[in-house]
Amino acid sequence: MQQPSIIRLLQKRGVSLVAIDEAHCISQWGHDFRTDYLKLPSLVKSLGQPPVLAVTATATHSVAQEIAHLFDIDLDNQIRHSVNRSNIAYDLYQASDEADKKTQLLAQLRECQKPGIVYCSTRQAVDQLVLLCQREGIQRVSGFHGGMTPMERILIQEQFIANQLDVIIATNAFGMGIDKSDIRFVIHYHLPASIEAYTQEVGRIGRDQHPGYACLYVQEEDVHIHHRLFQNEYPTDEELVAFLELLRNSVHASDSVVLAREGYEQKLTHEELFAAIGIGENVTRFLFYYAQEAGAVRSVQLGKSGYTYWFQPHDPQVVLATMKQRIQLVKRSKYAKLGNMQEWIQSSGCYRESLLAYFGERLINNPESCCRACGINRTLYLESTKPERVAQESAWNLQEALERLLPHRPSNEGGTASL
């Protein structure tokens, strides 16, 4: 969607439905905001406002409202299913230290029914745990993180889907787009950054409706990993100042006549940005997004080599203050979500109940094997008690999938849309 030629082609051919998966990524206050998603509302408009189907498994009420507002979706057309997954048991393991966590992980990987996923917060931890498994003779385990080549990642995903691997030890880069119904466990080796991220990751368990097991390892120090990651995710004040200076310095004096009138088209490569400010692509993406919002640039296009944008004359102090304020707000929201996650692990009652409460839902019935507080029937999840299951493979059918997603709804030519 970065390519104007693709958009022109879509406009020419016509689009009858825009389906947006992981729609929560459009929320700036959400746990997984992607700047590219914010281009979607104007894209939909430019396509003549076809019906929009926006789907997500992790939207609080406020995020759902934000999505509906951005796509002009009538709230009557919002369909909410319960986030309660009664076939998943929510366990927590209070670890005394790192060595204790490793011992527990090895024991659970040996005991638990597979396949399963172990989530870590850092690539380094993924590599270390894969090595540990290899040393301890646990086979059919592979790592997965964003530092691997696309080919490596595709291969590992395919092997996992084809049951050639039992366990994937991964960062949160793993999972989106993986359609595997028989995942039996998800272990969080580190604290997830938000309840939404946790729910999304454990939601990959047991889509075949058979019992599944989620276990979150709790160690106080893990919260500092997120503090470090957050710091790298957003620019410092110095980086912000350097970025704005770079934008201004890229405009040549000879262009000043054009500049004074209506701005000037500029280009900055990834290398130039990195050499001048020393920041990675993710941070740059945020900087351009907020610079655009603050009026310093417009029409930002991200290409393979870098950015093309329209520089706009602006008051540097005003832009700096606006961008600082916005970045602060987003950071604060991120810390608040981490705080919610920390509160959840300290729940005094049923963990399922407080998880549902976070999404504005009330728990009606507790399953027999519910959570750490209510009790878990651990034998259900052991390899030694694995029942014989008949594979329920069937061809994926769009019509059936849509009927499951949108039950009891008459077809609406005018444009049904849901969350």
Helix 237-249 and helix 270-277: axis angle, to 10°? Answer: 130
**Nearest-approach distance from CB 134 to Zn ion, in angstroms:** 36
- β-bridge pairing 185-188 and 264-269: unpaired
**Nearest-approach distance from CB 347 to Zn ion, in angstroms:** 9
**Nearest-approach distance from CB 215 to Zn ion, in angstroms:** 14
For residue 289, give the nearest of 30, 66, 36, 69 by alpha carbon. 36
Residue 170: φ, ψ to 5° = -145, 160
Which residue do the tokens 């696309």 mark? 150
Residues that bind Zn ion (CB under 5 A): 350, 352, 370-371, 374
CA atoms within 13 A on the CB side of 65: 5
How distant is the alpha carbon of residue 242 from its chain centre?
Answer: 29
Which of 188/352 has CB closer to Zn ion? 352
Rounded CA-CA distance 372/106 in Å is 20
Which of 156/214 has CB closer to Zn ion? 214
**Which pair of tokens denotes residue 72?**
């002009």
Residue 248 DSSP one-character state: H
Which of 188/226 has CB closer to Zn ion? 188
**Nearest-approach distance from CB 363 to Zn ion, in angstroms:** 8
Residues 6 or more apart whose CB falls under 8 angstroms from that of 399 comprise none
Residues 6 or more apart whose CB falls under 8 angstroms from that of 322 comprise 290, 293, 294, 295
Which of 323/376 has CB closer to Zn ion? 376
Which of 84/194 has CB closer to Zn ion? 84
**Nearest-approach distance from CB 218 to Zn ion, in angstroms:** 16
Which of 314/352 has CB closer to Zn ion? 352
Rounded CA-CA distance 126/170 in Å is 6
Question: Which stretches of 52-206 are assigned E, i.e. beta strand?
Answer: 52-54, 88-94, 116-119, 141-144, 167-170, 185-188
**Nearest-approach distance from CB 84 to Zn ion, in angstroms:** 11
**Nearest-approach distance from CB 111 to Zn ion, in angstroms:** 22
CA-to-CA separations, 301 to 32, 84, 292, 309, 319, in angstroms, rounded: 21, 40, 11, 6, 20
Rounded CA-CA distance 371/89 in Å is 5
Which of 31/188 has CB closer to Zn ion? 188
**Nearest-approach distance from CB 402 to Zn ion, in angstroms:** 33
Cα torsion through 22, 28, 31, 34, rounded to 10: 50
Which of 22/91 has CB closer to Zn ion? 91
**Nearest-approach distance from CB 337 to Zn ion, in angstroms:** 22
Which of 379/411 has CB closer to Zn ion? 379
**Which pair of tokens denotes residue 119?**
């989530």
